[in-house]
Structure 1
């Protein structure tokens, strides 16, 4: 059992196929499912928040870093999960939420955000200052990125030492898939070149040393690279190990590091296992978990329509359609096509941008109506087979819709657990 993420590199050097699932979601049922699986196997659970999702101004969840920690810890207490095995990570921490501002102003806000993350108890910090701010190119070169990453690390180190919290582990590197998935069909994704990854490490190492941050750099445990995986609205690009051989060999000469794999959603368990074997033991997943949740919610929506004539026909799906049309901000720039195509994408896209709507009052009310319709009502096995085929639901849980939703999420988490050596 891993007790620290810093053990991942040595495990890889010993050819131990051991990894950790990075759960990138703020949905309470996703977090509950992850904690239950972690408790079942006695494993650490890594929960991550992004700079847009959680920051000092609330992000799109409305939560500050300390709010997010309190929120997750409350679920952990309900699940009787050992707090010592719960790790909080901050993803893409940098100026991205404020990149429309001049660099100096955006970086000041990014430093304040990193300090808040550290003071809230986050111990895994992905430093990402790769994006250009006002008047700059969209993507910055390694030298500028490393300089700004070092400034953020310096702020994090000061905050950790002043607050008495454990000094954090860091992730560097920014060559990642499009956040939330691509908005077009993909056929192939080229892995990061080994020379590019090597240069990223070298530039960061030199910059950290020049800033007196050698101790902090010694706690850089991983680098984000593109292993050749991605998902679009309608398709998934599977990991092809043979295409990443040159990249993965880099770890032989950089034993301090492992790779962090973003957008591993919808990969098969075989592909996830190959990623861990090849040096990508940190597997980030988010939309894939809420996609499974939405599948189960819509399946239960159909079941309630069959069982309860007062419920209405697909009440939940219709409520979400109205909500997304009234508030298109989370999907309009990501989905493209005719009206019927947009309708399908709103509800069924792999990028799962419907996940941003579950906390809206209208969506909460619709889900509560669905839960009320099914709570305590035994769902016939035949209806489960019809609308949730293949989902393992225990007979005792057929009258507990929340348990059914968690089972759907856990089916995805089980693949990650298997790939990570659980």
Structure 2
């Protein structure tokens, strides 16, 4: 992953350069990200999580090789060179098998890592922070690091067999858990420099003890908590003044930057500040599918106004009925029965994203899009329900077609990330003019 190694060197040279990571398996989200990357002439980083994609299929039903082929297929359709597609694995470790004894869970994690690297994933987040069956809670730093080093050794062996660019690694984890907080949040503690130092020291020692000194310079990222998070209906915004000590700490590490998780819903100004403060890798996932859901909901409202309930797709009702009948992906998260239907639709945790591949929902979505493809939404309804897309259509930047309207909903979020990651380079260029 030479691109990320070069990015870190640029950042360490004083350029506030960054990259955003698209953590989604939704084809329209990935397509929107690739089209934007193609227009701007930059690579796109797409990541899969251990629960989403693994040797058993994960909740997407895809193995690492199948996910690679899925992503490459979208790149081919868009016209983006496969070399411009960077593949990463997020929270790779025993996460999906925490209920099993540690030995069994780690054996499964070794298979997971081997398959990810063999499939061409070259950005690997080694995360063994979770306790498995029989483990104490929480795990000691030394145990977490030793398990991460064990998995790194597997990755290094898999890379030597597969060939190509050497993997780069990210270590550490954030609190709360990935994907947004499960409960309402009011405050959030920023990782202390002491805790960050302990994580680095433990991993550096574990790598050395495992004979992985050659891999350590390719550990490019440390996951910490910069003080950003979201729960069901609130966003905790980045406050640079609270992370000053943490930001300064990493400046002494010549090959490391921070990776910030749960940056969804942050403002562009906050994203720019994160990159400036050495959080050079910004992860975004639910925020993208939330934007997709917003646009789908707006299109369903437009269809209802145009065609009425008799001729329409019944899209919204199909989605919510399916979620009610199959509650496994939201039941643990939405605890108030009186507002469950509201949270299913509008929670920032966006548990609805797990339901988009459902056959009944896919069929209803196809009817919705086909209806609006046959009869384009009038400008009056675009203005009412999708004002940003209305402006783009009026200015000739966007075609009034449902798939394009959907992708633009996602692209509006992605542009915030791309602009934030490029803002430092733009400022540096202006300063030299």
Partner SS for 2:273 = helix
1:318-357 residue CA offsets vs partner (Å, 9 max, x unmatched): 1111000010000000012132x11110011000000000
Structure 2: gaps (5+ residues): 424-433
Q: Contact conserved, 2:88 with 2:122, CA < 8 A, in 1?
A: yes
Structure 1: distance between partners of 2:312 and 2:226: 43
- In the other structure, the counterpart of 1:201 is 200
Distance 2:120 2:335 in 1: 40
Q: 1:348-399: per-residue Cα shift (whole Å, max 9, x none)?
A: 1000000000000011011001011100422111111211233344256554
Partner of 1:345: 343
Conserved 8 A contact 1:305-1:311: no
Q: Which deviations, in whole Å up to 9, do the C-alpha atoms of 1:91-134 show, x marking residues without a partner?
A: 00001111111111110100001000000000000000111111
SS in 2 for 1:375: helix
Aligned mates of 2:372, 2:347 — CA distance in 1: 27
TM-superposed CA distance for 1:3, in Å, is 6.2
Q: CA deviation at 1:312?
A: 5.2
Moved more, 121-130 or 398-407: 398-407
8 A Cα contact 1:273 1:419, kept in partner: yes
Structure 1 unaligned spans of 5+? none
Structure 2 CA distance, aligned partners of 1:168 and 1:3? 9
1:183 CA displacement = 2.6
Give the Å deviation of 1:310.
5.8
Q: Is contact 1:236–1:267 with CA below 8 Å preserved after alignment? A: yes
Distance 1:223 1:201 in 2: 8
Which deviates the most, 165-174 or 184-193?
184-193
Alignment of 1:3-18 (within 5 A): 4-18=3-17
Q: 1:139 aligns to what? A: 138
Give CA deviations for 1:208-250 in whole Å, capped at 9, x if unaligned.
0111100111100010000000000000000000000010111
- The number of equivalent residue pairs is 420
Q: What's the secondary structure of 2:215's corresponding residue?
A: helix
- Residue matched to 2:405: 404
Decide which of 368, 386, 389 is 1:388's aligned counterpart: 386
Give the number of the structure whose residues are more often helix, by fraction.
Answer: 2
Please tell me whether the aligned partners of residues 302 and 313 of structure 1 are also in contact (alpha carbons under 8 angstroms): no
Query: How has the CA–CA distance of structure 1 residues 165 and 229 changed in structure 2, closer, same or farther, with 3 Å as cutoff?
Result: same
Per the alignment, residue 118 of structure 2 pairs with 119
Q: How does 1:215-294 map to 2 (within 5 A)?
A: 215-294=214-293
2:19–2:280 CA contact under 8 A, matched in 1: yes
Q: Is the 8 A contact 1:3 1:44 kept in 2?
A: no
- 1:331 aligns with 330
Q: TM-score, normalised by structure 2?
A: 0.94
Which sits farther off after the overlay, 31-40 or 181-190?
A: 181-190
The equivalent residue for 1:91 is: 90
Q: Counterpart of 2:357?
A: 359
Which residue is 1:157 aligned to?
156
Aligned-residue Cα RMSD (Å) equals 1.5
Q: Which moved more, 1:13-22 or 1:122-131?
A: 13-22
